[in-house]
Amino acid sequence: MDFVPELPNLRQDVERGCPFCAELLERLSKEIWPKNVAVIIGPAVYVLESSRGTNPKPEQNGVWAFSIAVEPLGAEPVRFYFEVFADLAPCGTSGICVRQRPPCADRCSLESVEILQQWISECSERHPQCQTSDEMFCPKRLIDVGPVDGSVEPRLVEVARKPSRYAALSHCWGAPRPGVHMLRTLTSSINSFRQAIPYQSMPRNFQDAVRITRALNIPYIWIDSLCIIQDSKDDWAKEGSMMDKIYNSAWVSLAATSASTSEDGFLQSTLENHLITIPSVIGAGKQYEDFKVKTPDRLYVRFVTEGLHHARTSEVNASAWNKRAWTLQERYFARRTIHFGATRMFWECREGFASECSPRISKDMFAEPWTPVQANDDPPAGYIYREPSSESKTITDIDTNNDVTWGLSNSHLLHENSDTLVARTKLYEWWFQNLTDYSRRQLTYSSDKLPGISGLAKELCSTYKRITGHDEQYVAGIWIG
């Protein structure tokens, strides 16, 4: 029992050195309470994957979060939710464990790179949908990143034949303003860049991209402003028209998802600074008392502020990166993407999603935790998460509301559909959904409006011809049937 708004008993716990109490006090102090009203705080209740109305296997079930109810006498309780993380611990089929582990503080550390390499290896070896459609394509220019130790500066190279692998950077340039540095290849600088592009001269996004590419043992990276001659209309028109192939052929796409300008960088994580360490002796809650909660000696928790959204929704779909027009088709055509979010790294490919906190690549809802929309919300019975309409949609998504981005050319719905009229209708539904998304996005230069979606137009044209045997004309954003 305590009393709002002063909360004297909770303040005493804070003075005794309880870090979680300090966090809870800070959150309660931001609420508007009636004066001198008694409140009951707690108990803490674990939130399990199985509480979402789905049926995970025993080894997949686990604790994602816990909630604390603060109930003023005579009023509805207010719930506060905290994500839960724990260091790796053995989990048997007879118990419940905390399945999220804390993110790596250093995204270039051996531990972090090992997670990324495992994702890439699993995807490249086991995911047939994630293979490139053009094994021979290669961009005209790439950046040779040099050795891991940085003893040789990166340099611009012209490639005669496709290398074994290259990465591609997907990022926001940011509006030109003081303090935002954009390094570009110009006709006046291309020769010097062939000799070296000094690492220290690069904006932070480029430095981070070079660092992580080296750490992944990938010899080359494609960066738009460096691999296209920016003051050459001919070069820009030729290379810019091949964005679909450039991202589709890349071994992996590196998305600077947390960066809104080229100087922000993306290898830093903010989650570690917001984690609170507590003993793992929280009551499992009455409705879960049949479970034996198995955790290590310590838990790490974070107050949830994003609302009832998948962590990926707030950090990827709602990011400045995903509001950029060009990233719509960059994300669509990339076979596999590593998103460097604000709090954690995410994996996205055509066969699933994952995060470094829960690294199993999965199409189901257990790959990531849910978080509440409002402080007093519980997950509804039968709750199954669906992404909002901010992601690019494919023909498969239209029919199944599938969360995974599948290519039109791989859609079994079109392969099996013998009704040409129905197939054409589905194709145009796919196009207009993507066009609606694209129209909401931001462009630095209005002249990029048509080039920024040309790859998706080519995707529709090739699929249309395969299905109908006829060409569909696309002229300056207009379809001529």
- 402/299 Cα distance (integer angstroms): 33
* Residues of the chain where predicted confidence (pLDDT) is lower than 50: 92-94, 282-295, 307-308, 365-406, 412-414, 416-418
Which residue bears the tokens 């137009």?
457
Q: Which long-range contacts (CB under 8 A, 24 or more apart) does 279-282 make?
A: 280/86, 280/98, 282/44, 282/46, 282/66
Q: What is the pLDDT of residue 406?
A: 45
- Of 298, 345, 433, whose CA–CA distance to 114 is shortest? 345
Whole-model pTM?
Answer: 0.81
- 198/181 Cα distance (integer angstroms): 14
Quick one: how many helices (H) and strands (E) in the chain?
14, 19
Q: What is the pLDDT of residue 88?
A: 65
Q: What is the pLDDT of residue 272?
A: 63
Q: What is the pLDDT of residue 297?
A: 63
Beta-carbon contacts of 318 under 8 Å, excluding residues fewer than 6 positions away, are 309, 390
Q: What is the pLDDT of residue 59?
A: 59
Q: Which amino acid would we find at residue 103?
A: P
